[in-house]
A and B are shown apart, each in its own frame.
Chain A
Amino acid sequence: MEGTIVGPSMAVGHRLREGRPPSPSRWDRADVVIVGGGIAGLAAARELAREFRGNVVLVELESDLGGNSSWGQATASAYPWGAHYVPLPGREAPEVVALFEELGVITGQDSSGRPIYREQYLCHDPHERLFLHGRWQEGLIPQLGVSADDRAEADRFLARMQTLRESTGTDGRPLFAIPVDRSSADPAWRGLDLETFSTWLDREGFRARPLRWYLDYCCRDDFGLGTSGVSAWAGLHYFAARGGEAANASSSTVVTWPHGNGWLVERLRERIRATVRRGCLVHAVREEGGRVRVEGMDAKTGEAVGWDAGRVILAVPQFIAARMLGEAGGGRGTGAVYPPWLVANLSVDRLPTGRGMEAAWDNVLYEGRGLGYVIANHQEVQSVVRESVLTYYLPLDHAAPTEARREASTWTWEQARDVVLADLRRAHPDIADVTRRMDIRIWGHGMICPVPGFLWSGRRTDWARPVGRIDFAHSDLSGMSLFEEAYIRGVEAGRRVLT
Chain B
Amino acid sequence: MNERTTRLLLLASVFVIATCGLIYELIAGTLASYLLGDSVLQFSTVIGVYLFAMGVGSWLSGFVSRGEARLFVQVQFLIGLVGGGSAAALFVLFTQVNAFRPVLYGLIFLIGTLVGLEIPLLLRILKDRLEFKDLVARVFTFDYIGALLASLLFPLVLVPHLGLVRSSFLFGMLNVVVGILTARVLRLTGPWATATVSGGAVLFAVLLAGFVAADRFTSWSERNTYPDPIIHAFSSPYQRIVLTRGGGDLRLHLNGNLQFSSRDEYRYHESLVHPGLSRMTGAKRVLVLGGGDGLAVREVLKYPGVEQVQLVDLDPAMTRLFTGLPILTNLNFGALSSPKVRVENADAFTWLAAAGPEAKYDFVIVDFPDPSNFSLGKLYSTAFYRRLRTVLAPGGAVVIQCTSPLVARRAFWCIDGTLRETGFLTRPYHVYVPSFGEWGFILASTDPLPTELSLPDGLKFLSASTVRGLFEFPPDMDRVVVEVNRLNNQALVRYFEEDWAKVR
Known A-B contacts A119-B381, A119-B383, A124-B378; A381 and B350 likewise in contact (beta carbons under 8 Å): yes
Whether A383 and B486, one on each chain, are in contact in the complex, defined by CB atoms closer than 8 angstroms, is no
B331-376: which have CB < 8 Å to A?
347-350, 353, 373-376
Nearest B residue to A254, CB-CB: B488
* Interface residues in chain A, defined as those with a beta carbon under 8 Å from any beta carbon in chain B: 119-120, 122-126, 248-250, 253, 358, 381-386
In angstroms, Cα B352 to Cα A381, docked, is 11
Encoded as 1 (CB less than 8 Å from any A CB) or 0, chain B from 372 to 389 comes to 011111110111101000
Known A-B contacts A124-B487, A249-B488; A382 and B349 likewise in contact (beta carbons under 8 Å): yes
User: Which residues of chain B are near A120, meaning CB under 8 Å?
Assistant: 383, 487
Nearest B residue to A119, CB-CB: B383
B194-241: which have CB < 8 Å to A?
237-238
* Interface residues in chain B, defined as those with a beta carbon under 8 Å from any beta carbon in chain A: 237-238, 314, 347-350, 353, 373-379, 381-384, 386, 486-490, 493
Give the distance to chain B from A127, nearest Cβ to Cβ, in Å: 8
Whether A125 and B375, one on each chain, are in contact in the complex, defined by CB atoms closer than 8 angstroms, is no
Q: Most chain-B CB neighbours within 10 Å: which of A123, A126, A358, A383?
A: A383
Q: Most chain-B CB neighbours within 10 Å: which of A250, A358, A381, A382?
A: A381
User: Which residues of chain A are near B489, meaning CB under 8 Å?
Assistant: 125, 249-250
Nearest B residue to A350, CB-CB: B237
In angstroms, Cα B238 to Cα A163, docked, is 47
Whether B373 and A119, one on each chain, are in contact in the complex, defined by CB atoms closer than 8 angstroms, is no
Whether A125 and B347, one on each chain, are in contact in the complex, defined by CB atoms closer than 8 angstroms, is no
List, sorted by A's number, 15 A–B pairs whose CB atoms are closer than 8 Å.
A119-B381, A119-B382, A119-B383, A122-B486, A124-B487, A125-B487, A125-B489, A248-B488, A358-B373, A358-B374, A381-B378, A381-B383, A382-B349, A382-B350, A383-B314
Whether A386 and B486, one on each chain, are in contact in the complex, defined by CB atoms closer than 8 angstroms, is no
Whether B376 and A383, one on each chain, are in contact in the complex, defined by CB atoms closer than 8 angstroms, is yes
User: Which residues of chain B are near A126, meaning CB under 8 Å?
Assistant: 374, 490
Indicate which residue in B237, B379, B488 contacts A383 across the interface (CB closer than 8 Å): B379
In angstroms, Cα B347 to Cα A249, docked, is 26
User: Which residues of chain B are near A122, meaning CB under 8 Å?
Assistant: 486-488
In angstroms, Cα B353 to Cα A386, docked, is 20
User: Which residues of chain A are near B348, meaning CB under 8 Å?
Assistant: 383
Whether A383 and B487, one on each chain, are in contact in the complex, defined by CB atoms closer than 8 angstroms, is no
Indicate which residue in A124, A381, A382, A386 contacts B488 across the interface (CB closer than 8 Å): A124
Q: Most chain-B CB neighbours within 10 Å: which of A248, A358, A386?
A: A248
Whether B486 and A248, one on each chain, are in contact in the complex, defined by CB atoms closer than 8 angstroms, is yes
User: Which residues of chain B are near A385, meaning CB under 8 Å?
Assistant: 375
Whether B488 and A125, one on each chain, are in contact in the complex, defined by CB atoms closer than 8 angstroms, is yes
User: Which residues of chain B are near A381, meaning CB under 8 Å?
Assistant: 347, 349-350, 353, 378, 383-384, 487
In angstroms, Cα B377 to Cα A125, docked, is 9
In angstroms, Cα B387 to Cα A381, docked, is 11
User: Which residues of chain A are near B374, meaning CB under 8 Å?
Assistant: 124-126, 358
User: Which residues of chain A are near B353, meaning CB under 8 Å?
Assistant: 381
User: Which residues of chain B are near A119, meaning CB under 8 Å?
Assistant: 381-383, 386, 486-488
In angstroms, Cα B381 to Cα A124, docked, is 11
User: Which residues of chain A are near B382, meaning CB under 8 Å?
Assistant: 119, 248
In angstroms, Cα B374 to Cα A123, docked, is 13
Whether A382 and B347, one on each chain, are in contact in the complex, defined by CB atoms closer than 8 angstroms, is yes
Give the distance to chain B from A356, nearest Cβ to Cβ, in Å: 14
Whether B488 and A123, one on each chain, are in contact in the complex, defined by CB atoms closer than 8 angstroms, is yes
User: Which residues of chain A are near B375, meaning CB under 8 Å?
Assistant: 383-385
Give the distance to chain A from B401, nearest Cβ to Cβ, in Å: 15
Nearest A residue to B379, CB-CB: A383
Nearest A residue to B381, CB-CB: A119
User: Which residues of chain A are near B373, meaning CB under 8 Å?
Assistant: 358
Whether A125 and B490, one on each chain, are in contact in the complex, defined by CB atoms closer than 8 angstroms, is yes
In angstroms, Cα B486 to Cα A126, docked, is 11
In angstroms, Cα B374 to Cα A384, docked, is 10
Give the distance to chain B from A258, nearest Cβ to Cβ, in Å: 14
Nearest B residue to A124, CB-CB: B487
Nearest B residue to A117, CB-CB: B488
In angstroms, Cα B112 to Cα A29, docked, is 94
In angstroms, Cα B489 to Cα A250, docked, is 9
Q: What 7 pairs across the A-B complex have the smallest Cβ distances?
A: A125-B490, A122-B488, A382-B347, A381-B349, A119-B383, A383-B375, A124-B487
Nearest B residue to A379, CB-CB: B487
User: Which residues of chain A are near B490, meaning CB under 8 Å?
Assistant: 124-126
Give the distance to chain B from A41, nearest Cβ to Cβ, in Å: 31
Whether B488 and A253, one on each chain, are in contact in the complex, defined by CB atoms closer than 8 angstroms, is yes
User: Which residues of chain A are near B349, meaning CB under 8 Å?
Assistant: 381-383
User: Which residues of chain A are near B486, meaning CB under 8 Å?
Assistant: 119, 122, 125, 248-249
In angstroms, Cα B380 to Cα A383, docked, is 11
In angstroms, Cα B378 to Cα A385, docked, is 12
Whether A384 and B314, one on each chain, are in contact in the complex, defined by CB atoms closer than 8 angstroms, is yes
Nearest A residue to B493, CB-CB: A125
16 further A-B pairs in the complex, CB-CB below 8 A; given A124-B490, A125-B377: A119-B381, A119-B382, A120-B383, A124-B487, A125-B488, A248-B382, A249-B486, A249-B488, A381-B353, A382-B347, A382-B350, A383-B349, A383-B376, A383-B379, A384-B314, A384-B375
In angstroms, Cα B386 to Cα A396, docked, is 44
User: Which residues of chain A are near B379, meaning CB under 8 Å?
Assistant: 383
User: Which residues of chain B are near A358, meaning CB under 8 Å?
Assistant: 373-374
Nearest B residue to A255, CB-CB: B488
In angstroms, Cα B378 to Cα A382, docked, is 8
User: Which residues of chain B are near A382, meaning CB under 8 Å?
Assistant: 347, 349-350
Nearest B residue to A120, CB-CB: B383
Give the distance to chain A from B415, nearest Cβ to Cβ, in Å: 16
Whether B383 and A383, one on each chain, are in contact in the complex, defined by CB atoms closer than 8 angstroms, is no
User: Which residues of chain B are near A383, meaning CB under 8 Å?
Assistant: 314, 347-349, 375-376, 378-379
Give the distance to chain B from A256, nearest Cβ to Cβ, in Å: 10
Q: Most chain-A CB neighbours within 10 Å: which of B238, B379, B383?
A: B383
Nearest A residue to B375, CB-CB: A383
Give the distance to chain B from A66, nearest Cβ to Cβ, in Å: 25
In angstroms, Cα B350 to Cα A381, docked, is 7
User: Which residues of chain A are near B488, meaning CB under 8 Å?
Assistant: 119, 122-125, 248-249, 253
In angstroms, Cα B488 to Cα A250, docked, is 9
User: Which residues of chain A are near B376, meaning CB under 8 Å?
Assistant: 383
Whether B237 and A386, one on each chain, are in contact in the complex, defined by CB atoms closer than 8 angstroms, is yes
User: Which residues of chain A are near B384, meaning CB under 8 Å?
Assistant: 381
User: Which residues of chain B are near A125, meaning CB under 8 Å?
Assistant: 374, 377, 486-490, 493
In angstroms, Cα B314 to Cα A386, docked, is 13
In angstroms, Cα B301 to Cα A85, docked, is 48
Nearest B residue to A250, CB-CB: B489
Nearest A residue to B377, CB-CB: A125
In angstroms, Cα B493 to Cα A274, docked, is 48
In angstroms, Cα B260 to Cα A419, docked, is 49
In angstroms, Cα B290 to Cα A384, docked, is 13
Nearest A residue to B353, CB-CB: A381
Whether A384 and B381, one on each chain, are in contact in the complex, defined by CB atoms closer than 8 angstroms, is no
Give the distance to chain B from A361, nearest Cβ to Cβ, in Å: 10
Nearest A residue to B488, CB-CB: A122
In angstroms, Cα B487 to Cα A271, docked, is 29
Nearest B residue to A357, CB-CB: B374
Q: Most chain-B CB neighbours within 10 Å: which of A248, A382, A385?
A: A382
Give the distance to chain A from B373, nearest Cβ to Cβ, in Å: 6
Give the distance to chain A from B430, nearest Cβ to Cβ, in Å: 25
Give the distance to chain B from A245, nearest Cβ to Cβ, in Å: 14
User: Which residues of chain B are near A248, meaning CB under 8 Å?
Assistant: 382, 486, 488
Nearest A residue to B349, CB-CB: A381
Q: Most chain-A CB neighbours within 10 Å: which of B314, B374, B488?
A: B488
User: Which residues of chain B are near A124, meaning CB under 8 Å?
Assistant: 374, 378, 487-488, 490
In angstroms, Cα B314 to Cα A382, docked, is 10
In angstroms, Cα B383 to Cα A122, docked, is 11
Give the distance to chain A from B377, nearest Cβ to Cβ, in Å: 8
Give the distance to chain B from A314, nearest Cβ to Cβ, in Å: 38
Whether B238 and A384, one on each chain, are in contact in the complex, defined by CB atoms closer than 8 angstroms, is yes
In angstroms, Cα B378 to Cα A358, docked, is 15
Give the distance to chain B from A321, nearest Cβ to Cβ, in Å: 39
User: Which residues of chain A are near B386, meaning CB under 8 Å?
Assistant: 119
User: Which residues of chain B are near A249, meaning CB under 8 Å?
Assistant: 486, 488-489
